[in-house]
Structure 1
Amino acid sequence: MTEKQASFQGVAWGLFISNLIAAPIILWLSTLNKKFWEIRKGNKKKASIGGVILWGVLGFFMAMAGQMIAAIIETAFGVAPGSENTALLGEIAKASPIIILSIVVFAPLLEEIVFRRVVFGGIYLKTNFWIAGILSGVVFSLVHQEPQHLLIYLAPGLIFAFLYSHTGRIWTSMLAHLLMNGFVTILQFNMDKLQELQDMQGAFIHLLPY
């Protein structure tokens, strides 16, 4: 094992253990106040389990579409594509797969509680959706330490905020977030294979007669 791999192992296990401890504590604290999760204005009915699943899956596609549009806009303004944060997590995952649980399970769980319920929900109750959504999305971006990709993080942040406010269930945005992180992780693990496939397609096209 190289020094770099050992470092990745330490990061992966440290993150997993800290998340494993933090998640149940935060969930327990959130149950102490029965109104903690309620951010909807008026007496709107919360979504059913089926509604949560439906909107969660739909929200995943909405978030991915939002990121694609954001990436196109950033490229038009000269921002280099690609996320160093995502690439680094992909490297760590290959060296220590335990971090996948942190990325796919714990990150959506904890980030939705912090950014959607605490930040977005707190501002939303005093202002409106757009002010709360944009501000919480900006904070979401800054925490990921990639301010140049503000739009990339803001787009799904707004979608997740909409899912939470629309259904009244934090599990909806958690599900969409989990699916998105899982999809990106799968892509990172298969990036080499995708590149090989792309190269093969390019070679095949060159062989076609004009």
Structure 2
Amino acid sequence: MSRLWVSLLTLVIYGLAQFGVIILQLSGLFDNYSGKELVFAQIYTQVTLFIIASFIIILINHFIANPTSLEQQPKEKKRYAIGWALVGYFIVMIYQIIANMINIYLLGAPQSSPNTERLMKVAQEIPIFIILISVVGPILEEFVFRKVIFGEIYNMIQANKTIKFLIAGIVSSIIFSAAHSDPSFFIIYFGMGMIFSALYVYTKRIWVPILVHIMQNGFVVIIQVLVGPEKIKEIQESASFIFNFLF
């Protein structure tokens, strides 16, 4: 299949997975549900759509006849891919700690993301939603924002590798951050997007940033579910006191 067709299909399938529940609701599929039954039906449908979308996108991306210039380059050996994923994960976590401190204490952003809190509340009430947050969500996002958007921009630009990376990385990371609908946490999502893009460029393997993204989201889910939002807020308030005392 032509790469452009696969890229277009990837975007369309991602869009359908994202907004499929709304489309189905408008079609009257959920008219017989109300209250908790409606919420459960919508969440289960959303998770199912994301799983189906992930399988289709992974499948069609195996049949690209004309890969991008980035994908044509020699890939990092498979035995090193896990190592790079672990390195990338620690880089992302360190970046998040620093970016969160800047975001909260210098830029005055809220201590916790409303978007994350909303997702975690759903995950606690309907555990199957964790699959979407921790696994299929990161898979879809990396194929869309890294392989398609970043990859196509990188392939299109006629310049040296640094310029290509910066332009493609900045544009795709801005879109990635905007897609999370959380303006107060823009620098966090933007930086994560740049790190994921760098891992993709260095290894030439989309599954490396996917693994990092899965580990990062999985860690957040585990902490939120096991520790609980109230305890996390207490820890953040203690950290805020220490930071203000020192600076």
**Does TM-score exceed 0.5, indicating one fold?**
yes
Identity of aligned residues (%): 34
* Change beyond 3 A, Cα 1:39–1:146: farther
Unaligned runs of 5+ in 1: 203-210
Q: For 1:106-159, what per-residue CA distance to the aligned partner results, in whole angstroms no more than 9, with x for missing partners?
A: 011110000001111111123311111111111011111112211010111111
What is the aligned residue count?
Answer: 195
Counterparts of 1:193 and 1:154 in 2: how far apart (Å)? 24
Tell me how far 1:11 sits from its aligned partner. 3.7
Write the letter of the residue equivalent to 1:59: G
Q: State TM-score, norm by structure 1.
A: 0.84
Q: State how 1:29-68 maps to structure 2 within 5 Å.
A: 29-36=60-67, 38-40=68-70, 44-68=73-97
Q: State TM-score, norm by structure 2.
A: 0.72
Counterparts of 1:167 and 1:39 in 2: how far apart (Å)? 13
Alpha carbon RMSD of aligned pairs, Å? 2.3
Counterparts of 2:198 and 2:222 in 1: how far apart (Å)? 26
2:14 aligned partner:
none
The correspondence for 1:16, drawn from 24, 47, 54, is: 47
Compare relative contact order (CA 8 Å, sep 6+) and give the higher one, 1 or 2: 1
Instruction: Report the more deviating stretch, 21-30 or 177-186.
Output: 21-30
Task: Indicate if the aligned counterparts of 1:39 and 1:168 stay in contact, CA closer than 8 A.
Answer: no
Counterparts of 2:155 and 2:141 in 1: how far apart (Å)? 19
1:72 aligned partner:
101
Q: State how 1:40-189 maps to structure 2 within 5 Å.
A: 40=70, 44-75=73-104, 76-127=106-157, 128-189=164-225
Structure 1 stretches of at least 4 aligned residues deviating more than 6 Å after TM superposition: none
2:161 aligned partner:
none
* Change beyond 3 A, Cα 1:176–1:39: farther
Instruction: Report the more deviating stretch, 150-159 or 68-77.
Output: 68-77
Counterparts of 1:108 and 1:18 in 2: how far apart (Å)? 14
Counterparts of 2:145 and 2:49 in 1: how far apart (Å)? 19
Tell me how far 1:34 sits from its aligned partner. 4.0
